[in-house]
Each structure stands twice: as structure tokens, then as C-alpha cells.
Amino acid sequence: MKFNVYLSGEIHSDWREQIIQGCQANDLDITFSSANTDHDSSDSAGDALGAESQSFWRDHKSAKVNAIRIKTLIERCDVAIIRFGDKYKQWNAAFDAGYCAALAKPYITLHSEDIVHPLKEVDAAAHAWATTPEQVVETLKYLSSN
């Protein structure tokens, strides 16, 4: 069974690569997609549309350009993996989770145990919670088998 999987969240570790390589090693029929994961490139997504002197509007323009891609990919996916790391606010990951929940698009959270409490609302609407990329690979392997 073919799956489209959207990978949302943390960009400062290699969890995406681990999941993708783990699925490839298992020959799973899965297509992966992501928002732009290059921080500087993402922050300057709107610069081509004209420079902004205020950081709020620069961020605003870039975030809206990025949203075209994110929105399209979330709507195309069958399931999303939403990763929360140890650092940064990662409100965009929680935003994606809420967006998925309202669209009734299933998602799996990926985060360590120490942030279970602040993520309880996000986990409550998830279909699964994993703590390691290997667990995500196992779950995708299970789902796409047969």
C-alpha cells in the first residue's frame, strides 16, 4: 500500500534522513515531502518579492510563501510525522498538527518523553506517539505492508 508522508518540524537534527533511509532499506512504497528545511533559505523565501525593512513583514512574507508549499503538501499527504526537538519553540510544528487535526489528516508525533506534558493536547489528537525515528519506520513499515 502506497503512502504519502509529510515530515513536519525540527530542522536541526537528521531525523528526516533516518526515517527516509530506514524506509528505503525496507523497500517501502512511500513518498516523503517536507517544507524547506534550510533555515536561511526558508527565512528569505519572500525576499525575491522585494526587501522589507521591518523584520515582522519580512518574516510575514516568507512565512506566507512557505505556507503555499506546506499547505499543498499537507493536503496531499496520507499521514504526517510531526517532530518536536529539545530546543526552540517549534510553534510551526504544533500549528501543522492543529491543521492536520482539523482536516482529519492522521499524524504521528515524534518527541522524547520529557516533553509529554506540554505536548498533551498535540498528542491527544495524534494517532501515535514515537520517541525514535526507528519506531516511526517500524510503524510505516507496518502500515504500508500487505
Binding to its own copies in span 10-29, by CB under 8 A: none
Q: How far apart are CA 74 and CA 15, in angstroms?
A: 19
Binding status of residue 97 toward its own copies by CB under 8 A: yes
Binding status of residue 85 toward its own copies by CB under 8 A: no
Which residue among 7, 16, 96, 133 contacts its own copies (CB under 8 A)? Answer: 96
Type and span of the H or E element at 142: helix 133-144
Which residue among 1, 13, 17, 112 contacts its own copies (CB under 8 A)? Answer: 1
Binding status of residue 104 toward its own copies by CB under 8 A: yes
Chain mean position to CA 43: 17
Interface map 115-144 toward its own copies (x if CB under 8 A)? xxxxxxxxxxx-xxxxx---x--xx--xx-
DSSP string computed for 54-108: SHHHHHHHHHHHHHHHHHHHHHH-SEEEEE--SSS--HHHHHHHHHHHHHT--EE
Footprint (CB under 8 A) of its own copies, residues 20-79: 33-34, 36, 41, 45-46, 48-50, 53-57, 59-73, 78-79
Which residue among 3, 19, 86, 112 contacts its own copies (CB under 8 A)? Answer: 3
CA count, 13 A, side-chain hemisphere, 107: 32
